[in-house]
Amino acid sequence: MNKKSSNTLFLIVLTFLILTIAFLRHPDVKAQYSTWYRTKLFTEFQTQLKTNGLDPEVYWQFRERFSPGAFTREEKNTDFFTTFRITSLEEESTPLLFYTSEYLTSMDGLLLGDTRVRLNEFKAASTGEILLESDSFILTKINQSQYLFVFITSTEEMQRVNGMFDYTSKERELIKNQQWYNVTQLTL
């Protein structure tokens, strides 16, 4: 083997090695194989909740980073044009979007009623240890590796944070007394 082909081989191996390391260190890939990384992200999210309270945008980013997944919509209550459209409401709670990934599932929807009353209902139905709670969220530890996070906030916040809804005047009238809620179950 001559020096030129030796250098070429070296560069190919080095490039492959750099790309492999970069790929494995990418946050979306790392979340798929590293319990330590997911635990770190979850701990940071809990600190954020304790320090600054609920910021749905921070939650949205946490969910995507913790366990990359995909959304599906509840076809009974939504339609799709250029953004999702809310077409109907159910009596008490209306599911809109489902997020599914390997380590996290969640549902976003609309809820009728007082936030504190509704959170107390979630709290009463919970069988785990409540780790954090406020006027807008509850974080429960179900067992050593499973957690349940529930929050309720305004529909305006839903529109701002997730950008999947661009309320028409008809939708605004339909959802005027509703609130956005999210129920998330995650596994470390």
Residues 46 and 131 sit within 8 Å (Cβ to Cβ): yes
Query: What does pLDDT average to over the chain?
Result: 87
Average pLDDT value for residue range 123-132: 90
Residue 60 DSSP SS3: helix
Query: Exposure of 32 by Cβ count < 10 A (0-12 exposed, 13-18 middle, 19+ buried)?
Result: middle
The pLDDT score that the predictor gives to residue 26 is 54
pLDDT range class, residue 147, cuts 50, 70, 90 = very high
Residues 182 and 59 sit within 8 Å (Cβ to Cβ): yes
The pLDDT score that the predictor gives to residue 21 is 56
Average pLDDT value for residue range 104-108: 96
The pLDDT score that the predictor gives to residue 114 is 84
Residue 104 has pLDDT above 70, yes or no: yes
The pLDDT score that the predictor gives to residue 159 is 83
Q: Quote the pTM value.
A: 0.83
Average pLDDT value for residue range 46-58: 96
Residue 67 has pLDDT above 80, yes or no: yes
Closest of 47, 29, 51 to residue 38, by C-alpha: 29
Average pLDDT value for residue range 158-171: 81
Residue 136 has pLDDT above 90, yes or no: yes
Residue 27 has pLDDT above 90, yes or no: no
Average pLDDT value for residue range 124-137: 92
Q: How many CA atoms lie within 13 A of 121 on its CB side?
A: 13
